Every structure is written in C-alpha cells, then in structure tokens.
Amino acid sequence: MIERHAGGERVILVALDFGTPDFAESVAELRLLATGAGLDIQGEVQGKRSRPDAALFVGSGKADEIAALVAATEADVVIFNHELSPAQERNLERRLHCRVIDRVSLILDIFARRASSAEGKLQVELAQLQHLSTRLVRGWTHLERQRGGVGMRGPGEKQLETDRRLIGTRVKALRERLAKLGKQRRTQRRSRARQNVLSVALVGYTNAGKSTLFNALTRADAYAADQLFATLDTTTRKIYLPQVGEVVLSDTVGFITRLPHDLVAAFRATLEATAEADLLLHVIDSSSPGRERQIEAVEKVLHEIGADAVPQLRVYNKLDLTGVAPGVGRGEYGKLQSVYVSAQTGAGLELLREALSEILGAGRVRLEAGVPDDTSPPTEVISE
C-alpha cells in the first residue's frame, strides 16, 4: 500500500492544449491552485486536441493513460484544468474509478478554505450550491460515503442527500441575507460620500501583491502570502494624503482567468465597493510573463461588475524581481497612468502616494466644485 502524504489528497492534473497561446501559463497556474489547496500532486497528463470529446472531454486513449497513472499512484482525485459538464464528470469517474473535478470546483474549494468573515462564507456557500445544483446525480457510488475533500467542502459533503428543492430554499435564504448585508454596506458608503471621503479600491490578478501593497500603504497587517487567493474578504482602512485628507482604501479579492461565473455573482455585493470607488489601483505583477493576459482577465471582471468606467491607475508591482527602477508613466497631456513600485521593499511607494495625491486632489477640487469627474478609463498605458 502506498503511504499517504501528510499534505493532503493525492491528485493527478490533466490539461489539454486546444491551441491557446497561454497554455503553459494556465498549467503552471493549475499547479499553484492545487498546491495552494494543500494537495499532493502525483503526476500530470497533457495532450493536444482540436476540440473536447463530448463524452470524456479527453480521447479514449488519453483516458486510459490517466487511468493507468491513477492506478499506479493510487490517486484520490483527478483535476481537469477545464470546465467539465456533469455528464463528462460522471463518465470520467466511471472510466477512471476515482473522483473527478474541474477547475471551477477547485477554485470554489480554495474559496471555501480561505473565507473567514461571515459574509465571505455565505458568498462561497451560495456559489458552491449554484454549482452543485447541476451535479446532484453522480455516477461514482463512493460519493455517498464522502466525508469531504477537495471540491467537496461545505455543502458538497452530502451531495446525494440534497435535492434541488432544498438547495433552492437555501439559495434563496443566502441571497436574502447577502442582499441585506449589501444594503448595509451601501448605507455606509453613502454616509462616507456625504462626508466627502474619497475611496480607492485595490484590484488585480490573484497573487499580484495587493495585500502586501495595502499593508505598506496603511501600515496594517492584512493577511498576505505568496499563494493564489490569499485574500477573500474585503479589508478597509483609512489613510491620510497631503492636499487630499482622509481616503478610504479597500483591499479586494484577486481575479483569475476563467473565474467561475457563480463566484463572481456571489461576490457581487462585495465587489460593488469596487464599482463605486473614486479610483481603482490596478496592481500588476510586473515580473509575470503572462501579465498582459492577467490584465485582460482583470479588465473582463471589472466590466462584468460595472466597474470598467471607474478611473484607474496601474501599479506595476514586484520591481524587486525585475530590476526595473521605480518611476511613473504619463500619457497624453501629462496624465498619470502608471506607477512602478515594489511593495515588498518599499521602493517607489512615495511616488505612488504622490500620484494618489495628484489624482485624488484634482478629484477633490471637482467634487467640492460640483463638476462631474471624467470617468473614462485611460486610453494609453505606458508599457515596460
């Protein structure tokens, strides 16, 4: 019998290349998601296809290759770096003789692990239940005895005992509770608006360094770690800027490519703070080779939540890993568009504070004068 690893369940990762340019980055991201979930990666299976197989997603030969690796390593779970249909999951479980989950379920599982506030837990449970509602009938019979595990935390523990009527009732209750919390948050934001307190929200791809930057700017101790989705619950602090006064700064959940739609919908109330901010600090990992793809993923989610019209300042972080000197980038007519910093070492943070004072100071003048702000996003971004 193979000894079980103390770090967690033994998993096999599967990724198919359909000709997308970001395939290698996506696979590397899947590894980070799996290790971040505390899983023990036993092996990987990759392949190329022009399109997914309707029944198994992979071809029959590739399914046999995965099954052989599962048997050799005694893996507990096979994780696909794709979104599987309920039928594909059932067919694969019968073929591989182990549990199969997709990228969406893995991300939901990580959120279930990391949510700490009451609202965060409610949001994750809502997303899990909505995802679970399409997967009530499953082909792998040992799920009836399932006691948890990756992709099964929270409401997933008793899947087969939960019918759609009960899920519907719980989803309704969760939505009502989250709507009430959202109303309370909007009341608080209106109160700050009446006091002419400007707000800034940190947004960006997961693990771009938002929480580290938040801590550096506010001297707070928000949780920051070198892992995907270290922050789920929005943290808010006040900072003081010369010529501006007090400003509310919020650290938000990171975004990721193919972020589950149910998760975006569940966190919509929390993300409303982003859409109603006076300025977005879009934090970018300047050391990542996939930063352009990550920027696109963030912009896509901002569009989904109605925050794409909020003025934005791009903050290229992690200069300590690139050797680039701190600085600022300006566009047409000298408009500030980007700042280059290292939140880890503090390099360039004074430039960022000056940039915030310049942008928000101008916004403060317009606010007090009753002049509408120019909310159009920057048309030009200074590249590295």
Helices (H), the chain: 23-36, 60-73, 86-96, 103-114, 118-132, 164-194, 210-218, 261-266, 268-275, 291-304, 349-369
Which residue type, as a one-letter code, is found at position 238?
Answer: K
In a 3-state reduction of DSSP, which class is residue 193?
helix
Residues 6+ apart with CB under 8 A from 266: 123, 124, 126, 127, 130, 178
Is 266 labeled as ligand-binding?
no
Is 196 labeled as ligand-binding?
no
Is 20 labeled as ligand-binding?
no
What's the CA gap between 7 and 133, in Å, rounded? 30
Is 215 labeled as ligand-binding?
no
Is 206 labeled as ligand-binding?
yes
Is 344 labeled as ligand-binding?
yes
What's the CA gap between 264 and 256, in Å, rounded? 11
State the maximum Cα–Cα separation within the chain, in Å, rounded to a whole number. 75
For tokens 């989250």, the residue is 178
Is 15 labeled as ligand-binding?
no
Is 111 labeled as ligand-binding?
no
Is 318 labeled as ligand-binding?
yes
Is 162 labeled as ligand-binding?
no
Is 251 labeled as ligand-binding?
yes
Is 290 labeled as ligand-binding?
no
For tokens 């103390």, the residue is 6
Is 259 labeled as ligand-binding?
no
Measured N-to-C along each axis, helices 268-275 and 164-194 cross at an angle, to the nearest 10 degrees, of 20
Q: Are 202 and 210 in contact (CB under 8 A)?
A: yes
Is 7 labeled as ligand-binding?
no
Is 209 labeled as ligand-binding?
yes
What's the CA gap between 250 and 303, in Å, rounded? 19
Is 32 labeled as ligand-binding?
no
Q: Which of 271, 1, 311 is nearest to 127 (CA)?
A: 271
Is 211 labeled as ligand-binding?
yes
What's the CA gap between 237 and 324, in Å, rounded? 29
Is 214 labeled as ligand-binding?
no
Is 360 labeled as ligand-binding?
no
Is 109 labeled as ligand-binding?
no
Q: Length of the chain in residues, anyone?
A: 384
Is 232 labeled as ligand-binding?
yes
Is 38 labeled as ligand-binding?
no
Q: Which residue positions form the known binding site? A: 204-211, 229-233, 251-254, 317-320, 342-344
Q: Which residue positions form the known binding site for GTP? A: 204-211, 229-233, 251-254, 317-320, 342-344
Q: Which residue positions form the known binding site for Mg(2+)? A: 211, 231
